[in-house]
Amino acid sequence: MEGLTFYSYPSCTSCRRTKAWLKSQDIAFKEQHLFRDTPNTEELKRILSLTTNGIDEILAKRSKEFKKLSINVDEMSVNEFLELVMEKPKLLRRPILTDGEKLVVGYNVEGLRGITNRRKEFSEQIS
């Protein structure tokens, strides 16, 4: 199991709330700025592989960036989607938190508990 990676944007309210929750629980994580250090193709493929709803789970369809585009995502291939997101990272929902096995998108306390409790239990087993 890898460490937690927290893909965020500092001025995003959900990102700030998620970060505050993680810190309040003393959970270690690696933070990666979504726009300055956009996940590469392999990272995005890994994130997509952890979704239950595919592209819809990580695509910010209500964002201004998405509304400016006149595209039908359902008609795009995965590679076309990945290229688009690499070019326009604001299309990603945020925050995205993953431990390499589970994924939490947005500020979701129940999801955060699930991903972090499992990490704490695993850490206690190997101590």
**pLDDT tens, per residue, the chain with 127 residues:** 468 999 999 999 999 999 999 999 999 999 999 999 999 999 999 999 999 989 999 999 988 889 898 888 888 999 999 999 999 999 999 999 999 999 999 999 999 999 987 555 444 444 4
Entry pTM = 0.85
Q: What is the dihedral of CA 41, 42, 47, 51, to 10 degrees?
A: 90
Number of C-beta neighbours around residue 8 at 10 A? 22
In this structure, are residues 29 and 21 in contact, taking their beta carbons and an 8 Å threshold?
A: no
**Residues annotated catalytic, as ranges:** 12
Give 12's strand partners: none
Number of C-beta neighbours around residue 90 at 10 A? 15
